[in-house]
Amino acid sequence: SQTIHQWPATLVQPVGSPLSLECTVEGTSNPNLYWYRQAAGRGLQLLFYSVGIGQISSEVPQNLSASRPQDRQFILSSKKLLLSDSGFYLCAWTSLGTGGEKLFFGSGTQLSVL
């Protein structure tokens, strides 16, 4: 069966420090991978998605970047964190298809930038 792992679960970082959040999927190949951010009172915002190794689409201009060095690995990064980067970050995957496939979410990372 397929599983998705996301770590760390919680992270407290000072402003200006770098960030690396990792997500891996097991039990499937060539998944579509997504990073979402959930900020208080603002719902779930799509940050990045990837349909293959090295292929990253960004939905919003921001202080973050994403990379997909391997088929089932998706990394969210920042060189210098801002206070506004605080939030709950969720990785998700779905099978490659034409749309309508449901997303499977990781357990999330609560990031606090102080």
Partner 1 sequence: AQSVAQPEDQVNVAEGNPLTVKCTYSVSGNPYLFWYVQYPNRGLQFLLKYITGDNLVKGSYGFEAEFNKSQTSFHLKKPSALVSDSALYFCAVSQAGTALIFGKGTTLSVSS
Binding site for partner 1 (CB under 8 A): 6, 32, 34, 36, 41-46, 49, 59, 90, 92, 98-100, 102-108, 110
- Rounded to a whole number of angstroms, the minimum distance from the CB of residue 88 to partner 1 is 8
Residue (76 or 90) nearer to partner 1, CB: 90
Distance CA 100, CA 83 (A): 35
Residue (10 or 17) nearer to partner 1, CB: 10
Burial tier of 67 (Cβ tally within 10 Å: 0-12, 13-18, 19+): middle
* C-alpha closest to that of 76 among 33, 107, 112: 33
- Rounded to a whole number of angstroms, the minimum distance from the CB of residue 92 to partner 1 is 8
